[in-house]
Structure 1
């Protein structure tokens, strides 16, 4: 439909009256200024470009509607309007009009380029949402989406302006979506997009995104603070007005002309965060509003600061000079807190240019060169060092673990608390408690990998020394140096921790492959294992586990990046699919594989209200130690020779295969166990980084989940991971899955497995 309507740049622009939706005044003016009938093909005039992009999008989205019922074109118009508000250039605003057309219509990127040029095409390509890609879970989808976005940002940082504007309008209109989806989007907004807006210095987007997410995630707290702020508004505005008048008078008295003093309310999420951080009630937070002084020059900023401190009593330790030491996102201002009218008041002092950068970030900061990209500006390369670090980690294999990748992104996006200097005087921001190793990995992965010493303020110091504000840090490197697992005991940032673990995984690849092979062989048995391992089925299993080769799969299994149960589940699914597709004689590898399949024919059992196991009433039985079955798992009974009763196995226990069918009994768990608390022993093997206190941390994690540990043993060897054997008391298979997931989520844990998973 779209190509038939639009042709290839031959249809002229239409009259203003042809658009039957409400338009921003600036867009209406642009349409009025552009002569109807103007050719749309590759316009160079900014107004014609914007009108052409809007008209193009209007035609393509005609007949499409949002979940709210509004015409879909309302959304790209709102995105373009937000971009114009922050001062974005015409190509960026045009990309705002067109950011969804490739995904939602049959127009291609090549046609976008033909109509609007290469620059707009690249921007649209960078912000086009993922389509036609299937992920195993939502975490994987989010991680992949963010990888694509950061790669696009690395080539042209302006891509993220459209992404952020898109997210702001989606959050404004999120009410039409289901509650579960609203919560997910709001949480992602708070964790990723609001910090990203802050990183880029776009305060206007950051504050609105935080408040919109706050309203959805903590609705009661939002309404309470909104009510409190509204109730005290008149009193607060009166108090601020008196303070503003007093400061204006004092500034004029010392002949500081051109200064503008104003009061500003703090956004609701900022107030709530401060209440949580300081453990205070609303009435104990005095600075819910602040003063801002806009001055004509940097010199005037410091002179105005002197007037503020002369007029009011400054609060010790609350002065910060972000003009002399700007934040990494380019933010500059003087911050001070004083006692005014018996209450603390926050005061910000900055020039008009600094204020524009604080409000609009990169959109106000960059002067784009024609045909160029801001990412190529050498003067700004250090400003986005964090982005380069994310890209480096992606390219060196840091994307194996989606949770690690997401945690690293979140760490890199949030505000730093410690600012230190490189030997050249460049500022590097780190989390509080960061050490020289964290600093080295922030500079570059290779610097971290080859770090062997550090000079802090020209003095040799231990690598574990926490860095302080203003420290000058020089990392000493050597080609023969490599990371130590001991570093994991003191690094403060997820980025450094993840890269140390990635290095360990790569450098011990042969060892982890052998470990993974042993785990899998113990489950599948040696008979035909090599044939199966090199077969097509296992290759498909590897692809489903997001690795390229079977060897990569074994390495991931050995290191703990994937669990044995995950591999077996995907393996069984592949066998089922192949069995459905062909009924011919199976190959040798398939014969081995099908031995793992659960029989399809199910046996109907008589209900019994007596005993733990139904189907063996009156007989002695024991739970097989080879597989330690749990309620919730499919089980089978085997009659022991010599009249020794019945042994209960998991149905997928490989020991069952060696027992003749005439000695097998159909049994099942008593469903009435669901209402009783009965514990069953399970043995777990945990492989972890060897550090002091790791066993205590694991036991504390289990204690928090009310899991009893009846036995614990630790085996260590120099230069190797520690192996911990735990015997735990559990009530069901579901509880086992939750317990293993809790242990696996701990930062220093390499892998966790159930001992006795069907093997001898």
Structure 2
């Protein structure tokens, strides 16, 4: 285990003015707090944070980050508290340590949900200071290096999480060396047979081609030297097992078909030297078509810059080449850790403008996080984007937009701005109007056609590939639904308050939101419209002293029952068996109007539906489910809306009318099968209409009598399972 002075010496090698007192204090504090704790391997637990700190010294990070590495498990696994760390080490280090502390003491429904919540917390902490990510990745790397003592199932679970999240996240931050090691370690545990096979084949290939890397390095170096590029360095290597395995899977190739197992890197002093070296190589050896990429003029989103090409080089061997400067090579290998701001104690807020673009993906991900997706959806979208290769497209004004491969113009629109995505109705790709489902390619110029009345369809969620677009579409859909229900809720509340002799006001409601469990006025009003919140409950929340007495007197079943609703000022009566009602299941209201007749809309309503009443000519009230399109006729007649609810007499149950539509095969026995299914579900057929809509299909409209919504939904589900039924749905008209 590394000694205290050894850690200080490692930091002093690249930072002579190191704050030794800080490192010594963190070393001693962490060692004391972890005390006699042991790892699964039996080693002292303190060896883990010490090794994490050592990994970060290899990245030449500042002493504050090294101190955080030493302390990163103290809040989670010892008696240490955030306040104590703040007092001893300062709020900056305390904040970083807390950002690395996993969520505890929270009731989560699944390991996936816990994983999602931890990722959310990590990314939010990273948004404050990216050093949190550096420590977390070093923490995961050391855990993967020492995973061998774990149970097989635990090793596989941790490795899958590493492959799903942490290795791609390291790649997105440009830390390729760390990504490759994480992938290699995870691959070994997830698919040990494949790892062993590929590793064995690579070893055989290395023996068979012994000396070929040295030969190619020599020829390339000689070519560059003779061309006047003095000081150019050529490095060759054989690809790692997981990189080879991934290419075999993605391109459906056997090991023998792989022709570019070797990769070479040419490192030159200046940017212009990169293009000069490229010209020399392409003049000497033949380029493999379609394999040249210029990431210097068009850097990747994580700041990666390099020229990529594949040539048929010496010995007719296919060779992958990367050409870059020393600085580009540091960024390619170390990513965000290569930037000076992590070596001199600056924070992410001090980052120069030229470096900001390297982290745009991270900021967009955190932006989608703050827009309200639940944790598991966020995890799904984050994984999706972590694994995507990129395409680079341009706006008509020349703005470069980086998107995942497979992205559509809709993704492009949302990447530019959420408002542009929400109002998108079409797109021009390279000057031609193209469908919105078109997949974009590198270099495409995309112009978005907009409309101010557009609302993004919910179906777009299945078309787009970016988490930002999916989040925005889902949010816009929620807002559209909320707006629809908000209008209904507003009318219901105005009517209820009016009947109670009060005046409804959004300002009054805003002051009472805490009693209703909602954060925004619109949410509470929409909840009333959906039937999730009673208008009477809202009235009581706004006016706590208001007395609302509803007295129900139940009598014998043959006499019915009566009730008085003080909010509406009506006394009403539900007829029993001896009460001669002209409409089955109707309700007779008696109160302000004599014998107020209640009936249902043509398609009916059933217990379980959210219902509203529409006053007629003063003697009638018609009950509608809120989904009924017939309610649109009364949008401008607020005075006719009555807030009603189901209040059933369990001793005198009745069936209620509902209407369904079935599209079924036109063949003998279909009607009998449908009727039998309806009968076995204890549902009665009132009327049935059949219409031939095609040679092979018949459309049936059936009026049913059911007990409640649960029974109706069960019937529709059973009908959909029939082989002779194509579709089955409820009608509200």
TM-score of the superposed pair, with normalisation by structure 1? 0.63
Pair 1:176 & 2:149 matched: yes
* CA positional deviation for 1:425: 4.1
Residue 74 of structure 1 aligns with which residue?
Answer: 47
Pair 1:330 & 2:303 matched: yes
- The equivalent position to 1:470 in structure 2, one of 430, 443, 447, is 443
User: Is contact 1:30-1:51 (8 Å) kept?
Assistant: no
Partner SS state of residue 105, structure 2: coil
User: Is contact 2:195-2:241 (8 Å) kept?
Assistant: yes
- The equivalent position to 1:49 in structure 2, one of 3, 22, 25, is 22
* Residue range with higher mean Cα deviation, 242-251 or 202-211: 242-251
- The equivalent position to 1:357 in structure 2, one of 318, 327, 331, is 331
- The equivalent position to 2:362 in structure 1, one of 382, 387, 398, is 387
User: Is contact 1:398-1:499 (8 Å) kept?
Assistant: no
Query: How far apart are the structure 1 equivalents of 2:677 and 2:525?
Result: 29
Task: Map 1:230-629 onto structure 2 (within 5 A).
Answer: 230-340=203-313, 341-367=315-341, 371-374=346-349, 377-399=352-374, 402-423=375-396, 425-457=398-430, 462-475=435-448, 477=450, 480-485=453-458, 487-488=460-461, 490-493=463-466, 495-509=468-482
Pair 1:62 & 2:35 matched: yes
Query: How far apart are the structure 1 equivalents of 2:384 and 2:308?
Result: 25
Task: Map 1:726-737 onto structure 2 (within 5 A).
Answer: 726-727=717-718
* Residue range with higher mean Cα deviation, 492-501 or 143-152: 492-501
* Residue range with higher mean Cα deviation, 157-166 or 367-376: 367-376
Distance 1:659 1:32, change over 3 A: same
Query: How far apart are the structure 2 equivalents of 1:474 and 1:121?
Result: 47
Query: How far apart are the structure 1 equivalents of 2:391 and 2:367?
Result: 23
Q: CA RMSD in A?
A: 4.3
User: Is contact 2:407-2:440 (8 Å) kept?
Assistant: yes
User: Is contact 2:294-2:308 (8 Å) kept?
Assistant: yes
User: Is contact 2:482-2:523 (8 Å) kept?
Assistant: no
Q: Report the count of equivalent residues.
A: 536
* CA positional deviation for 1:290: 0.9
* CA positional deviation for 1:727: 3.5
Distance 1:349 1:510, change over 3 A: closer
Partner SS state of residue 505, structure 1: helix
Partner SS state of residue 174, structure 2: coil
Distance 1:304 1:168, change over 3 A: same
Partner SS state of residue 262, structure 1: strand
* CA positional deviation for 1:286: 2.5
Partner SS state of residue 106, structure 1: coil
Query: How far apart are the structure 2 equivalents of 1:335 and 1:302?
Result: 11
Query: How far apart are the structure 2 equivalents of 1:30 and 1:58?
Result: 19
Residue 218 of structure 1 aligns with which residue?
Answer: 191
User: Is contact 2:11-2:60 (8 Å) kept?
Assistant: no
Query: How far apart are the structure 2 equivalents of 1:728 and 1:24?
Result: 73
Residue 9 of structure 2 aligns with which residue?
Answer: 29
User: Is contact 1:31-1:51 (8 Å) kept?
Assistant: no
Distance 1:754 1:208, change over 3 A: farther
Query: How far apart are the structure 1 equivalents of 2:399 and 2:237?
Result: 33
Residue 136 of structure 1 aligns with which residue?
Answer: 109
Distance 1:24 1:110, change over 3 A: closer
Pair 1:190 & 2:160 matched: no
Residues 125-170 of structure 1: per-residue CA shift (max 9 Å, x gap): 2212222222121222111111111111111122111111111111
Distance 1:360 1:555, change over 3 A: farther
List alignment gaps of at least 5 residues for structure 1. 1-20, 34-42, 516-538, 565-587, 589-625, 627-654, 661-679, 685-710, 716-722, 731-752, 756-760
Partner SS state of residue 311, structure 2: strand
Distance 1:481 1:552, change over 3 A: closer
Query: How far apart are the structure 1 equivalents of 2:167 and 2:84?
Result: 33
Residue 102 of structure 1 aligns with which residue?
Answer: 75
Distance 1:234 1:484, change over 3 A: same
Query: How far apart are the structure 1 equivalents of 2:87 and 2:479?
Result: 45
* CA positional deviation for 1:175: 2.3
